[in-house]
Structure formats: C-alpha cells, structure tokens
Chain A
Amino acid sequence: MPPDPLALNYRDSPHPGTVPSTDEALLAWAGENVKVPWLRICRCWDKMSKGEAVRAVEAQLPIPLTPFTADMRAMFYVMRDLNPLMTFEPGNLFTIILDSTGTRILRAYMERTRMNAYISLDEVRLDPSWTRRAEEIITSGNLFPLKELLSAHMVRERGVYVNWVKIANVRFFGAFKDALEEFAGPGTLSSYIAAAYRAVREIYSHGWIAFSPKPKGFARLEEIIGTDSKGLIQYDPSDISDGEKDTELTNLLNETYIVALRGRDHTVALRMSGKEPFTLFLDQDISSSVNGIPFHRLPRALARKTGARTVLAFQADAAYNILHEYLLRPFPYTKTDTEIILKKLLYMVREYTTQWAIYPVPIALKWYARVGRFLGLPYDISRLSYWFLPKLIVEGGMIGLGHLQRVLLVVLDQDQVRSAVVAEMYEGGMRKIRTFPARELTPFFRSVPLREGLIKAKHHLWEKDGWINFAVAVQAGLIREALKLNLSGALSSLFGLSRAFPSIKRAWEMIKKGGLAVYPDRGLVEVDRWVKKTGRLRVWFTMAQIPFDRTRPRRRGLLYIRETIIALFALGAFLFILLGMML
C-alpha cells in the first residue's frame, strides 16, 4: 500500500527536550517541502513499476529542493535506467536525519525500490536497540559497520535488506531552504544555480551529508570535481553571473532546448529553458506520441510538436553505455581507460542518425558538406576514425605536455577575471579539476596585454600550487559570441551563416585584438611558420585526412590518381570555358 501523506505525523523526538527549536523548524520545513513531494513521486513510480496507468495530472509533480516540476512518468524511465549506474541495484536506501550537532538521530526512513525506482518512504521507529549503536558509529566517523547494523535490523523488522545508507544533518535542509529563498527573489534559473551551488559547497564543507557505502556515481563525480578546499566545489558562480549582461544571449538561453532519449519501449525528453515554467521533462504524452517515428526523424518531430529551438536525440543504450564506462572505470583513469571512453564517444559521433540525431541539422552534417570529397577532402562524419583519434589525442598530449599535465584556463570579462580553473591530467587521464579565487588573479591582468597577464598569473599559481604546463586565457565576450553562433542556428544553413557574418567578424576581431592568449606559445608560432612555408592548402588537405578513415585500403598511389583525375577535369573545364569565350 502506498503511504498516505496526509496521515503522516512527525514522531516525538527520542531526545525530548534537548532538540533545539531551529532543528524542529527545519524538520517541519523538510517534512512539508521534501517528504510530502517525495511521497507523491514514490506513489507515482509505484504505480508505474506495477504497470498501472498514471494520468498526466498525477504525474506532473515538483522535484524536491528545486524549483523544477517534471513529468514523473518520464523520470521513471530515467530512474529505471540510471539508478543502477549511479547508485546500486537494488538500491534500497536507509536515510538517517541527524540533529544540527551531528550526533543524535532525529528521524530515520526506509526507501524501497522496484525496477530501480523508489516506491515507498516509510518512517522507521527509533528503537534504542539500534539507534544507540548507530549514533556511536556515526560519531566515530567510520561508517563501514552501519549498513550491516541497519540491514540486520530492517530484515528482522520488515524483511527488507538495506543496500546503502544516507546520513544527512538537519542543516542540509537549511542550506537548501536558504537557496530556495534566495531564488524566490529574482526567480531566474541562473539565480537558482548560483544559490544551489553555494548550498552544496556549504554542505560539503561542513560534512552535512554522508553515504555508506558511497554510491559509485557520486564518488566518481566527487573525485573529478573535488570537494576539498581547492576543488571545483569552491567555485563562485556569482563571478560569472556578475558579468556583463548580453540581451541577445539571454533571449537565446530563454528558448527551449530538448535532449531526447530513445529507449526500446519509450522516448523521454529532457527540457531545458532559462525561463519559466521550469519543467524538467516534457509531458510524457507528447514524448510517447513520437514513439513510432524513426529515430533519425525524432528531433524534427519533437521540435514541431513543442516549438523547441534545438532538439538533440540519443539512443538511450548508447548514451548509458558511455556513462557506464565513465562511472565504472577506476579513477584516476589510465591511458587505456581514457582511450576506451574516447573510442566509444567518437563511435557514437560517427553513428549519426543511428545513435544520435539533431534538428536543425548543422551544415557540417548536411549532404552538401560531403561535396568536398570530390576535391579530395575526405570529410564524412560516418567515416570518423574513432579507433585512431583517441590514441592520437591521448598520446599526442602526453608527448606535447608531459605525463603530468596541468592546464590553466582563465576566463576574463575585460580585465576582470571571472574564473580560473586548473585541469590536472596524469598519464593521459583526467585526475582532478581545481579552482582558484578569481579575484586573486585579477591584478595580474590590469593594464597589460592578455598574454603578459597570463604569464604572471601562471607564475603566481606555480608559486602557490605547483607548476602549470599550459595556460589559456579567453575573454568571456568571445565565449558569448561562440555560444550565440551555436544557439542561434546560424550553423545550420548557409543563409543563417551569411546572416551571422557580423557575429563571426566580431569574434575574429576579438581574437585579433588579443581576446585569446595561450602560453607557452612558441610551439604555435613555429607551427604557423611551418604551415606558411609548406603551403597552407597542402597542410590543411593533409590534416583533413587525419580524422577520417579512407575506404580503399592498401591501394598505393591513389592519391595521385585522384589528383590526376581532378587535374584533367579542371583542365577540361578550363578549355571548355576558353572555347566558349572564343566562340
């Protein structure tokens, strides 16, 4: 039986009279804003997992701790496929809520799964037989025995095995409560992202959330992003949001963009838009109505039904397969791991129209982009050399930058540094991403050319955090122009491209005036010299053959045969024109 939210009442605390009133207030807020919506979601997924029909009105529910609503029927499919990757299978979860001191258990819940989706949220009686021992374990900091203790208790009490345990301090809810209050003012998506980012940072810095065992998806993300004092978690999103406002870009971001996933028996559409209503998934009735449409026509069909600006569709199996590789390989990735992940990724890119599709179709994927093949340019996305490029990228990077590479990326708005991030790679695999306070680097860029500022900033970070192999500085304006070019659809038609010419010119001017700087740049200068000396056309023709496979193996000299044919054609055309002019 699904639990009835209206019948729920908070039990009395096991520590009467000692729980601060602020904790009680937060518990009450969480009960109303987290527990009740989550129960409704569980009820919906319970029905779905039993194969029962769920009406659209029942399925449109708010997602707890966010301003988003979503069609829970769509989310059920995502949960069904993703939950085993991100957490455990089965994923029965025991949740403990601690008081603000982090020593006493205030509430405990058992969340059961069916088909990997959560179907129930049952409150667990705080029996001293387990709470005392559990509190001891939590206080000790070694959470390892906790799962077995709770599992034994729950098997005895309800016949349910616990797969993982989540421990949240009641102030976890306080952080999100503050974030939602902060969002309520401006009510924009960017304000929520900034507020939620700060909430997560606060939660990690105080250790208000813990898992035992830690779900592999979370663990992997934490390892890459880093939750320590220099991890990406320390990044201040207000640095970006304080930047110059661009109305054109804001309008573009307020449009609707859809990412669709086509499974064996369903289609799910993730909706993204910068303006209200913040609906995370499309109405599943719309998504289901395109189930019968062939995959390569899916983006167009969805765009027509929803008026979305761009629709990107993936075969769910292929997308999850890559995610699976990404999450399950031990971290930090070795050279081989990185190569395999890249191979799978590039193979998916190569399989355009079978594993992914897009609408509107960019010029690069249209039929006339392949006309260049007649002139010897081997461009064809379906012949992308997925087996060769990863090796070239990984080993080439290792040869060029060394086995331990630290790359600095600085984004500036005029002479104000907006973000400074260092990506650390080891033996060809990503190790971690670190962030540095943007304001600390700003003085280096004042009143000096970008390149000089970059060198100074690089040396400053060398002193502070170790050697930086390569540094890139880019003006935010350039990124904005690039974003606009992509989002405006200019790259999807020759007409659009011609209309976007001012934007391209603006970006080019920005680059020429030093909107982009790299250091050390001597290698690039030498490459440029060599290209000019060798002949741009020849080098680019040769380079164009690197990413694509040729389909005529072991036929030596074919390059010259083709050139001969082209030359003969050109000669014929020239003679024909000459003859025409003479006549």
Chain B
Amino acid sequence: MKKTTVAVGYGEDRIEAVYKAFQALGGIGKWVRPGMRVLLKPNLMTAMGTPAITHIDMLKGLAVLCREAGAREVMVGENPVCGMPARKHFEMSGYDTALKAIGCRVVYFDEEPWTYKLQLDNFCLRDMHVPKALAEADLWITVPVAKTHVACVTTLGLKNSHGILPDEDKARHHRGRPHAGTSLWEKFVDITHACPPHLCVTDMFHAMEGQGPAFGDTVEMKLVVAGEDVTACDRVVEELMGIDSLRESPLISIAHRRGVGMGDMAGIEVVGEKIENHRRTFRRAIWRPDENAPDGLEMLVGDVCYGGCQMLISYLIDTSRIISSKDAREFGPVYILCGENPPPPPENRFVLVYGDCAVYSTYNYDYRKKGKKIGPWWAPRPGYVDVPGCCPVHIAWLRGYAKLLTGYAPLISLQTGVEIVEAPEYTFPKGVPLEKNPRRWTWDREFAERYAKEIAESNQPKYIYENESVKGDRLKGRNPLDVDRLNPEEFDHLNTVESYGKLRHHAA
C-alpha cells in the first residue's frame, strides 16, 4: 500500500521551517507549476494575534516558495468568524498592507461572488457556496494554525475549511445531532470532501493548548507540518500534540472512516523531523462550561448538543472571564440557561436564556411568568433575555448579555462594543431572505425579540427545517430521498431552526 507523505520541518523561524518542510517533500514545484494562480487560506478566526491566528510569516514563506516555483499570482483569502467581515480582520491585524507589500493579492471572500457547489454524497452539507477566487485558483493551500478546540478537540486543516463558506452556510448544521442528520463534525468533513485543498501547511511554530481556539496558552514547537492529504497532516499534528486521533479526535476519525484522507499513522510516512523528538502532551480545552464558569456566571445546563450552544457559551465565558469578576463582586451572579430542560434559576431575574432548546423548554418557568422587572422605574423590563437560534450564531449572545445587564454591570454592558468587529453595513448576496440571514439577529433587535417570542410561546418549535427547506422550496417539490439519503424517517423529529443560503442552482 502506498503511504501518504507528510513532512515535519523545524526552524528557528517560520520561514525556515516552511522551507525545510517542503525540502523534505521534494520541493513545492511538485504542486506549483509556472503560471499557476495559488490561493492561500489562513485561519484568521478573529482579530487576535498569534497563536489564535496563522502567523503572517507562514504566508510570507509560502508566497516566496510559490513565486520561486513560477506562480503567476499568489492570493490570500479568508472569511473569518460568522458576522465579522474579512476586510476588518485583515486591517485590524495589519495583514492587508503587509501582504500587499510582499506582492500578494488579498481576497476578502465575503466581498467576492460565490459559486454554488453540490455534493450529494455528503453527510449533511449537500450544497454550499465557495468563493469564486477559490474556484478559479489553480491550487489552493490551507494554512491552519495548530490549536485545541472546545468542540472538536483540535482545529487544524479540516476545521480550517469552514472559512471558505459564506456566513449563511456556516450557520447551517452548527450543532451536534447526528441521529437527526445534522452534525458540526460531519459538516467539516463534508466541506473537505466537496472542496479538498491541494496542500495543507500547518503553522505549529507557536501552537495553542488549553482553552482554544481563542483563549488558550502558547506552546513553542518551532514546527511546520505539510502534506497534500489534509487528514494525514492533521493526524501528524495531533500526534505531535499528544492526541490519539482515532480515539479522541472526532474530525479525523470521521474523515478516516469516510475515506476523506488517511487518518491512520500506519498509512502515513513522516519525513523530515521525527515525531518522537518533538511530541508534547497538550492540555485539552475544557468542554463543560458549567464546570468552568468564572465568578458571576451560574451555568444551568440541560440536554445540550455539541458544537452549538455549549461551544459558544464557552466563548462567552472566556470572553467575559476577565471582566465578569469585577461586575460579579459588585452586582452578583447572572444565570445562563442552556440546552433542553435546564434546571430553573434560583432567582427570577438576570437570566440569559441561550438557544432555541432553552427558550422553548422553559416557556412555563417562573422567571417568565412571575419574573421580576429590572431597569429604571420609568422603563422597567423583564429580568431575562432570550438569545434565540440553533445555535445562536454570530455574537448575538454577547449582545443579549450586554442588553440584560445594561445599567447594572457596567463592564459587561460595554460588550455592546462587539459591533466594533461586526458588519452591520454588510451587503448580502441577492436572493437570501432576510429572516434567514444570521447576521440580522445581532443588530435587528425587534426581529430577534419577535422570533424569540414566537418560539417561547409555541411550546413546540416551528419546523422551519420541515416547512421551508428540505420539503419546501429547497427541492422544489421533489422527493427529499434524492438528496438526503440519511434516515429520512427522522425528518419528522427534527427540531432545529435552519438558516439556509441561496439555493438558486439546485441540481435538477
């Protein structure tokens, strides 16, 4: 059996490590031919520095190598976290001018036209949109940074593919109910299956352990891992992180099982540095927010799926960890309800109800019916705030949190400043109904409240999935079995609120 080759390069700086990795692979010329247009896709998840995002020296090293191999154009593109425009990320980190200075073209995926793509043998994401620049590139290289992740154990090449989707597609299947045909883990593998990168080059010079993917600690490894099989690359990186992929890591085990790359070390040949010389044991991200909440946040968690509310709540906790300590000391705790049938809060005020499951399953709780009013005497308001969505996309949760505590906890209420990185002015592709636009939930307060109220009063959720997507307009009356092969009988039990992108080119 022919083995997949993955190279591990070591260097005193990233550029040297990239060179060494490709030297071990036999040179980048095996992939990059003269006249090619190459697209580099880094991980710029948010406007933070290293190691939360791919370091610019990785892009510089690769750009230089591609040019040496004769590439006509080197592009760098990304569509980062839901709702945050790529342009702001590049500008806030100073990457835009730096990349232009070294002759790269910066492609803001969310400002580019999208190309529709159909992949009927995927698990859940059977149609999606990819940026035109990516579709047109002769070669695209995914350049992730090695980090731990609360929902996926690690975020590497497979996970980095999420950044090629528009927000509308990102919001789909952002939850973990595989029995119901919707799974975040499967979705990541779906993307790679539909749109596999030609090369994967992982920045492991400074990796992240602990509370990744944003708030962990740095581990200095001085390594770069490269190969053409993204799953194999991820497997080697996880070996270096001390993770038993096929047992612990959902993405690699799913990809391996589905044949989207090689996830078994027996089928991988590692060239360059030896894994044994560099292997470390990374601290994993803590998966249970209710066990990790800081002072001032009381987590009340019911039946919660992976990948959705629980993951975003861990972001909320980590974002608020610094400032909540002061507000907690001066104002007392805030109760966060999450998941289906969470325990009732001990106080009927300062309650944040997070996600559709919590909103509809607590419709008869006391905090709603007998809840105390908060706010000034001239404008009292309910002592709870609903954050709807499955899962609540974007940073609606931060806004809801800020809204709940306005006038009480000054620091947390400053989190309305999330709009610094948001894109209220963002224009959407034509054809996307505004109600299905996840970004709207963050700034259109009236819409979000009306939506939450509908859910709360319904007792049972409205089956948007049933009414609008699978059996509705998406297939234009066709048999869903033609598209969704998995467990069609379970469609009756789906209780999710989907937000679909445009579907104008559905396959006939």
Contact = CB atoms under 8 A, between A and B. Distances in A.
Interface of A: 385, 388, 391-392, 395-396, 398-405, 426-427, 455, 458-459, 462, 466-467, 469-470, 519-520, 522-523, 526-527, 529-530, 533-534, 539, 542-543, 545-546, 549-550, 552-554, 556-557, 559-560, 563-564
A426 B93 CA distance: 17
A458 B96 CA distance: 13
Contact of B48 (A385, A399, A563): A399
Contacts of A401: 49
Nearest to B49: A402
A550 B376 CA distance: 20
A542 B414 contact: yes
B422 to A, nearest CB: 9
B410 A520 contact: no
Nearest to A468: B94
Contacts of B413: 542
A466 B57 contact: yes
Contacts of A467: 55-57
B50 interface: yes
Contacts of A470: 94
B97 interface: yes
Contacts of B195: none
B426 interface: no
Interface stretch (B34-42, B245-253, B328-336, B450-458): B328-336
B376 A520 contact: no
A466 B13 CA distance: 9
A556 B409 CA distance: 9
A542 B50 contact: no
Given A403-B51, A523-B420, 4 more contacts: A388-B325, A391-B322, A395-B321, A403-B49
B463 interface: no
B93 A520 contact: yes
Contact of B88 (A522, A530, A534, A546): A522
A237 B413 CA distance: 47
B204 to A, nearest CB: 14
B47 A523 contact: yes
A388 B375 CA distance: 26
A549 B49 CA distance: 30
A452 to B, nearest CB: 10
**A-B interface, 5 closest residue pairs, ranked by CB to CB distance from nearest:** A402-B49, A522-B91, A520-B94, A560-B376, A526-B420
B326 interface: yes
B92 A427 contact: no
Given A391-B325, A402-B52, A560-B407, A522 B92 contact: yes
Given A399-B48, A542-B413, A546-B410, A560 B13 contact: no
B416 interface: yes
Interface string B110-149: 0000000000000000000000000000000000000000
A466 to B, nearest CB: 7
A8 to B, nearest CB: 52
B411 interface: yes
A404 B377 CA distance: 48
B504 to A, nearest CB: 34
A520 B214 CA distance: 20
B269 interface: no
A560 B48 contact: no
15 contacts: A388-B325, A396-B322, A402-B48, A403-B217, A404-B206, A466-B13, A467-B57, A526-B88, A533-B419, A534-B417, A542-B414, A553-B329, A554-B330, A560-B377, A563-B376
A401 B49 CA distance: 5
Interface string B75-119: 000000000000010011110011001000000000000000000
A462 B53 CA distance: 18
Given A560-B375, A564-B376, A402 B50 contact: yes
B47 to A, nearest CB: 7
B332 A523 contact: no
Given A388-B325, A522-B92, A560-B377, A400 B332 contact: no
Nearest to A525: B91
Interface of B: 13, 47-53, 55-57, 88, 91-94, 97-98, 101, 206, 214-215, 217-218, 321-323, 325-326, 329-332, 350, 374-377, 407-408, 410-411, 413-414, 416-417, 419-421
Looking at A462, A527, A542, A556, which has the most chain B CB atoms within 10 Å of its CB? Answer: A556
Which one of B94, B101, B410 has the greatest number of beta carbons of chain A within 10 Å?
B94
A393 to B, nearest CB: 10
Nearest to A544: B410
Given A392-B323, A467-B57, A559-B407, A400 B49 contact: yes
A404 B376 contact: no
A557 B374 contact: yes
A459 B97 CA distance: 9
A405 B101 CA distance: 21
B417 A404 contact: no
Contacts of B93: 520
A405 B49 contact: yes
B88 A395 contact: no
A429 B104 CA distance: 33
Contacts of A385: 326
Nearest to A458: B94
A555 to B, nearest CB: 8
A352 to B, nearest CB: 21
Nearest to B333: A554
Contacts of B56: 467
Given A403-B206, A459-B98, A395 B407 contact: no
A545 B97 CA distance: 37
Contacts of A523: 47, 92, 420
Nearest to B90: A522
B92 A545 contact: no
Contacts of B416: 534
Most buried by A among B53, B93, B375: B93
Contacts of B98: 459, 462
Nearest to B91: A522
A385 B322 CA distance: 13
A385 B323 CA distance: 12
B80 to A, nearest CB: 14
Nearest to A469: B49
Contact of A559 (B91, B218, B408): B408
A458 B56 CA distance: 14
A7 B484 CA distance: 104
Contact of A427 (B217, B331, B419): B217
A466 B206 CA distance: 14
A530 B419 contact: yes
Contacts of A395: 321-322
Contacts of A388: 325-326
Contacts of B88: 522, 526
A392 B411 CA distance: 11
